[in-house]
A and B are shown apart, each in its own frame.
Chain A
Amino acid sequence: METPKIKVPVMSDLWSRGEKPEYLFWVGCAGAFDNRYKKVVRAFARILTHLDVSYAVLGKEETCTGDPARRAGNEMLYQMQALRVIEILGKYEVKKIITICPHCYNIFRNEFPDLGGKYEVINYLQFLHRNVEEGKLIINKSSLINTVITYHDPCYLGRANDIYEAPRAILGSMTTGFVEMQRNRSYALCCGAGGGQMFKEAEKGNKGIFIERTEDALATGASVIATACPFCMTMITDGLKYKNKEDEIRNLDIAELIVQSMRL
């Protein structure tokens, strides 16, 4: 028998059928194009299906929010992208947006309102945390209970938007082996990818920032490094490869850990 497939709802299809979803799931460029991060998006879509959430993605109509351009100083390009996105979201009367990428989350929440784009913006960690709290996501404690997990705070969730508790509460509900890195929460060290660094060679230095941060994670003795940002994931995974630890230590997104513990 063939395994049942999940069909991800696309906004334009729903509208042509006269349906209007509650949430827009903003996939982001990394979710759409980065091979590793696609798995994270798939995991989250699996959770949305499991929860029977009324949602849709924009699919081919999605376009960059302009965040990398803005952080790299190209305000003109950012505003053109932003106004384009606001127009598309207006077309579908979007009120609530779920993002997984913290950079998309930050720009929707804090910067689009300046250009007239006002939405209820929810980061997937807040969404997942709420569903765990409400008992809708029942994490199977047996699968990861003894796994030592540490968490790397993405700058754009932590310092930028004060989201520190949700990821810790979720991880705390699946393992008794949660460990903090020396530098955590508002003290967390950046993975090195923010502000456009993801897309360029780093300036001359004596060490890669991603290596410095991976060492923080390795020092905890954790076997899983949980991340919540596509750029952090690229950096930490690269760091593990650099340290020849990619076989022993896994870098997984919190959505993937939930899927795994629930065997969705």
Chain B
Amino acid sequence: MLKQILFSLSFILTLAAFACSINRLAGFFRMTIPAFPIRDIGKRIRLTLSVAIGQTKIFRKPVLGLFHALVFWGFCIIIFGSIEMVLDGLSGSEKVLKILGPAYDVLMASGDIFALLVGVAIIIFLTRRLFFHIKRFEGDEMNSWSHKDATISLSFILILMISLITMNLGYVGLMSHTGGNIEGIYPIGILLFSMLHQLSAETFGLIYEVSWWLHILLIFLFANYLPYSKHFHVFMSIPNVFLSRLDPAGRLSNMESITREVKFMMNPEATPVPVPSDYQPERFGVKDAEDVTWKNYFDALSCTQCGRCTAVCPANITGRKLSPRKIMMDLRARMKEKGPLMVKHGRDFSDNRSLIRDYISEEEIWACTTCNACATECPVNIDHPSLIIDLRRYLVMEEASAPGELKAVFSNIENNGAPWQYSAEDRLLWTKDLEICENYPL
């Protein structure tokens, strides 16, 4: 009974703390602007099944991809055991999901094996992070907190897996020594028991009890650490994939507000659409956290800083400042800074800082080739180029700020309909003397 009360209290505390974190983020989401409507649910489900559940994009790096996929698939199985622990803890029952029959055996056996596999994968990840110099984990945006955050998250998972294995060992040992019926199958637990069977029933009982509490309390703690960690992708990545932009990667979104203005400009006789009296002229492009779409912010929260985007960015790998990962990290950090102020003082509040310049420099913004390598690589379908273009839109249309050569391109297009200074009269020069046979020497 005491166990039930203690458990229920900690569970309620966990849920309450988590709800506070989510509520805080929801407040930030309310500051963002609309993105695209969520249609094509069937297509989205298929995309989620392949990219999120099937881990197809993480396999673009096959070896490490496999380790990550093992961790993810293991998580999908082990979560059933965690749900059972919560149900057991609340109701005071023992292995309540055994009613599933043979499916329970499969779940428990695969969970037990996955715990070992995930543990091994996490040790590999930790070793890579702590003892190897991996370029992908370096970069200006990767400060000491980024590295600590990664280490803390991985350590959490490692201890979770160890406690799961010892919990199963304790359970198998306790039941074997006391003649109880073992519910479920635990291959690793049985293997370890065969090596440690000389231990007493009390010892196994203690291992079981301590591991059980350690495991579930760590889950509660971890769940509440995640919203403040780069590892929040545990919650965000599957919905982020589901909410992906479904357009071809090359497509930029149309700015309807500009279309209205341009159409009016080209046809001044047309009656302009009446403007409501409380109309606030919206800002063109993205200057600060409140100008981004909810999807941009969703992307930023889904980013786990793996750096696959930056590792394929042509600008970054040739030594330029632009790093797509940094763009996402900057947005998240800026929202963390300005979000609470906006929630408190209103969306128009200014702290005299902005995403542009205080976080992302113009040098970074202008270095992008819009090649879409970053978005193609991102395992959770983050769309970096759209945000970078929106930052450019702000610079050009609100501040008339652009590199001089691009300003020349603008005036060339405006004056002679081409990015270069050539006259439209010369557009047919290439057709002169087009002979049937021309020599193309190799």
A256 contacts B369, CB within 8 Å? no
338-392 of chain B: CB within 8 A of chain A: 363, 366-373, 376, 385, 389, 391-392
Chain B residues with CB under 8 A of A10: 428
147-161 of chain A: CB within 8 A of chain B: 147, 155-156, 159-161
Known: A5-B434, A29-B419. A193 touches B366 (CB 8 A): no
405-442 of chain B: CB within 8 A of chain A: 405-406, 408-410, 413-414, 417-420, 422, 424-431, 433-438, 440, 442
Q: How far is the CA of A110 from the CA of B433 in the complex (A)?
A: 35
For B320, give its contact among A7, A205, A213 (CB under 8 Å). Answer: A205
Of B4-12, B185-193, B260-268, B274-282, the one with at least 4 CB within 8 A of chain A: B260-268
Of A14-22, A74-82, A134-142, A164-172, the one with at least 4 CB within 8 A of chain B: A74-82
B420 contacts A252, CB within 8 Å? no
Chain A residues with CB under 8 A of B258: 75-76, 79
Q: How far is the CA of A61 from the CA of B251 in the complex (A)?
A: 26
B314 contacts A189, CB within 8 Å? yes
For B396, give its contact among A38, A72, A252 (CB under 8 Å). Answer: A72
219-270 of chain B: CB within 8 A of chain A: 247-252, 254-255, 258-259, 261-263, 265-266
Known: A73-B402, A77-B413, A224-B442. A63 touches B418 (CB 8 A): yes
Chain A residues with CB under 8 A of B402: 72-74
B318 contacts A68, CB within 8 Å? no
A74 contacts B410, CB within 8 Å? yes
Q: How far is the CA of A66 from the CA of B393 in the complex (A)?
A: 14
Whether B177 is near chain A, meaning CB under 8 Å from some CB there, is no
Chain A residues with CB under 8 A of B247: 110
Known: A33-B426, A63-B424. A4 touches B435 (CB 8 A): yes
For B252, give its contact among A111, A162, A187 (CB under 8 Å). Answer: A111
Chain B residues with CB under 8 A of A109: 248
Chain A residues with CB under 8 A of B414: 77
For A208, give its contact among B262, B318, B429 (CB under 8 Å). Answer: B318
Additional 9 contacts, C-beta under 8 A, given A69-B409, A110-B250: A29-B419, A29-B422, A33-B418, A42-B431, A42-B438, A60-B424, A111-B254, A192-B369, A194-B370
Q: Which 3 pairs from chain A and chain B are nearest by CB? A: A160-B250, A73-B392, A206-B319
A residues bordering B, Cβ < 8 Å? 3-8, 10, 27, 29, 31-33, 38, 41-43, 45-46, 49, 57, 59-64, 66, 68-77, 79-81, 83, 106, 109-111, 114-115, 144, 147, 155-156, 159-162, 186-187, 189-190, 192-209, 212-213, 223-224, 250, 252, 256, 259-260, 263-264
B residues bordering A, Cβ < 8 Å? 60, 247-252, 254-255, 258-259, 261-263, 265-266, 284-285, 312, 314-315, 317-322, 363, 366-373, 376, 385, 389, 391-397, 402-403, 405-406, 408-410, 413-414, 417-420, 422, 424-431, 433-438, 440, 442
25 contacting pairs across A/B (C-beta < 8 A): A3-B436, A6-B436, A32-B426, A41-B430, A45-B431, A46-B438, A60-B424, A73-B285, A73-B393, A73-B402, A75-B255, A77-B410, A77-B413, A77-B414, A81-B417, A106-B248, A106-B251, A159-B372, A162-B248, A190-B314, A203-B322, A204-B363, A209-B315, A209-B369, A259-B438
